[in-house]
Amino acid sequence: MLEFLKQPWPWYVAGPLIGLTVPFLLLIGNKSFGISSSLRHTCAACIPNKIPFFNYDWKKEAWNLFFVGGIILGGFISFLLLHNPENIVVASSLTEYLSQFYISTAQGYEPTEIFSWEGLFTLRGFILLVVGGFLVGFGTRYAGGCTSGHSIMGLSNLQWPSLVATIFFMLGGIFMTHLILPLILNL
């Protein structure tokens, strides 16, 4: 059984399982799926109520903190018990493309030239990890939610703002991948 679980799951199995979280959360208590709001709830619980943005009854949304805690715990358990020791195979076209920028994918998805402590202290690593992380956080707040909240929950509920946000998430990803990322990788 563990060997079966260690293998990558095809989209037609994993996708519906993720999608089933939407009706499940709605049925158990009219809850909305989303991860980015948990940071606000954590800050509201830890920061004194002098900041208006954090001055609300975060205890009504405590279930979300348990949900995120379960995701973290599940990831940790799956890494310990279901970790596949073999290297992840990426498309040969991606390997060739990244080799133009002296980036190796031999270790798996994340190139160690960027995604490591040593890579963090390079200009391109700093831009991709720190600046990119800040922009993702800013965009999440500006869009009123993250990709999982809008693209899974919002589209399932036929919310117009979630459709617009999802379209711009995709356009931004395409723009970044084909126009900005090559410039950063050339640094």
Measure the CA–CA gap between 86 and 107, rounded to whole angstroms.
Answer: 10
Q: 29 lies in a domain?
A: yes
Q: Cβ distance 36 to 149 under 8 Å?
A: yes
Q: Which helix (H) or strand (E) holds 32?
A: none
Tell me the residue range of the domain where 31 lies.
1-86
Identity of the residue numbered 66: F
Q: 58 lies in a domain?
A: yes
Q: Cβ distance 71 to 79 under 8 Å?
A: no
Residues of the chain above pLDDT 70, percent? 95
Q: 136 lies in a domain?
A: no
Q: 37 lies in a domain?
A: yes
Q: ∠107-187-129 over CA atoms, to 5°? A: 55
Cα torsion 108, 114, 115, 119 to 10°: value is 140
Q: 103 lies in a domain?
A: no
Q: 40 lies in a domain?
A: yes
Measure the CA–CA gap between 28 and 64, rounded to whole angstroms.
Answer: 13
Identity of the residue numbered 82: L
User: Residue 56 — φ and ψ, nearest 5°?
Assistant: -155, 170
pLDDT tier for residue 51 given thresholds of 50, 70 and 90: confident
Q: 125 lies in a domain?
A: no
Structurally, the chain folds into a number of domains equal to 1
Measure the CA–CA gap between 59 and 43, rounded to whole angstroms.
Answer: 12
- Tens digit of pLDDT for each residue in 91-131? 788 878 878 877 776 665 667 777 778 888 888 888 888 89
Average pLDDT over residues 159-165: 91
Higher pLDDT, 175 or 49: 175
Q: 104 lies in a domain?
A: no
Measure the CA–CA gap between 21 and 1, rounded to whole angstroms.
Answer: 24
Residue indicated by tokens 């990890």: 129
Mean pLDDT of the residues in the chain: 83
